[in-house]
Amino acid sequence: MSARVLDGGVLADAIRAEVADEAKALLARGVQPGLAVVIVGEDPASQVYVRSKGKACMEAGMHSETIRLPAETSEAELLAVVDRLNADPKIHGMLVQLPLPTHIDADRVLLRIDPRKDVDGFHPVNVGRLVIGDPAAFKPATPYGVQEMLIRNRIETKGANAVVVGRSNIVGKPMANLLIQPGKGGDATVTVCHSKSRDLPGICRSADILVVAIGRPEFVTADMVRPGAVVIDVGINRVPDATNAKGYRIVGDVAYEPVAQVAGAITPVPGGVGRMTIAMLLKNTIQAARLQS
Ligand code: NDP
């Protein structure tokens, strides 16, 4: 069997086009949705993400601000920037790119963001809203993108056994919370695994839908996947590759080729979930602009 490939690029482009239409409609009412991204320090991967977010915003006809702060910025200075953005009517959504330098308490910074502008969905108010199934919650972009991929590819989650491997606050936990909510893209029976789980391969094999977000290159192998299962690979890992001009290549948390022989559907890396994340962030910014206008 060869799995159906779930193309994140095509879907993300479609969502970004929808977002651009919605931004245009808001602009016609005098509201230009605005997103601010704050980055502290020079982490190269974060710099790439932040540039992509700003570019995507502009392409969707949205207002974009990127605030670049030096690595030695104090927590108080960063909090003052957050306060300023909270009060800025041009900014409907904001996020502070993680990770932050270790001298800054990331939780304190997240708490300072106005929950109405928290388009990453990491503020405890939005986490709580997500858990209780409040539609006003901002869904964290990566698991939101996964859910949207399942819905738009007509993959039935209702009654399915879904296994989420990874329990981070950014991916694993919100993913599990989205999949258990009643309604479209939910109603699954969800198991969450982590590094202390016993018999991980056995639990993975019980999955109709397997979502993997652990940051371990090609960790999930074909023997861990039930024939016909849907495999969603969230992982983005750099592995050394002398044949590549950059000296590395990007792989997921799933051994793609062998697993694609067993699975019913699979997301590639790159070109899968990763492409969806920014599209969903833009969608959240539209939601924020609507709520505030
Ligand atoms: P974290 O490091 O925050 O969390 C990893 C989770 O995986 C932890 O819960 C950890 O368990 C679990 N884990 C680690 N090793 C194992 C193992 N051997 N067996 C079972 N569970 C394990 O990572 P993130 O959630 O932030 O990211 C996960 C992956 O997704 C990374 O590759 C990251 O680059 C990628 N990512 C991709 C995004 C995208 O846009 N596509 C966005 C965000 C992340 P424990 O809690 O017990 O330590």
Q: What is the pLDDT of residue 212?
A: 99
Ligand 1 in contact with 161 (CB < 6 A)? no
CA-nearest residue, atom 17 of ligand 1: 195
Mutate to test the pocket of ligand 1, among 191, 234, 267 (most ligand atoms within 8 A of CB): 234
CATH architecture assigned to 31-116: 3-Layer(aba) Sandwich (3.40)
At the fourth CATH level, which superfamily is domain 141-273? NAD(P)-binding Rossmann-like Domain (3.40.50.720)
43, 180 Cβ separation under 8 angstroms: no
Kindly state if the Cβ of 269 falls inside 6 Å of ligand 1: no
Q: Residue 1: its pLDDT value, please?
A: 59
Task: Identify whether 120 is a catalytic site residue.
Answer: yes
d(CA 192, CA 165): 6
In the prediction, which pLDDT does 15 show?
98
Question: 10-residue block means of pLDDT along the chain (293 residues)?
Answer: 93 98 98 98 92 96 97 98 98 97 97 98 98 96 98 98 98 98 98 98 98 98 98 97 95 98 98 96 98 93
Using DSSP, state whether 243 is helix, strand or coil: coil
**What confidence score (pLDDT) does residue 166 get?**
98
The answer to whether the beta carbons of residues 234 and 253 sit under 8 Å apart is: yes
Q: Got the DSSP string for 202-223?
A: HHHHT-SEEEE-S--TT-B-GG
Which residue reads 């699975």 in tokens?
Answer: 263
Would you kindly state where each structural domain of the chain is located, as residue ranges?
31-116, 141-273
236 lines ligand 1 (CB under 6 A): yes
Measured on CA atoms in the order 149, 155, 157, 160, is the torsion positive or negative?
A: negative
Residue 211 beta carbon below 6 angstroms from any ligand 1 atom: no
Domains 31-116 and 141-273 share a fold: yes
CB 144 within 8 A of CB 179: no
pLDDT number for residue 281: 98
CA-nearest residue for atom 3, ligand 1, is 168
Å from CA of 234 to ligand 1 middle: 9
- For residue 90 the two structure tokens come to 């041009």
Question: CA 72, CA 103: separation in Å to the nearest integer?
Answer: 9
Task: Kindly name the residue from 117, 118, 120, 173 that is annotated as catalytic.
Answer: 120
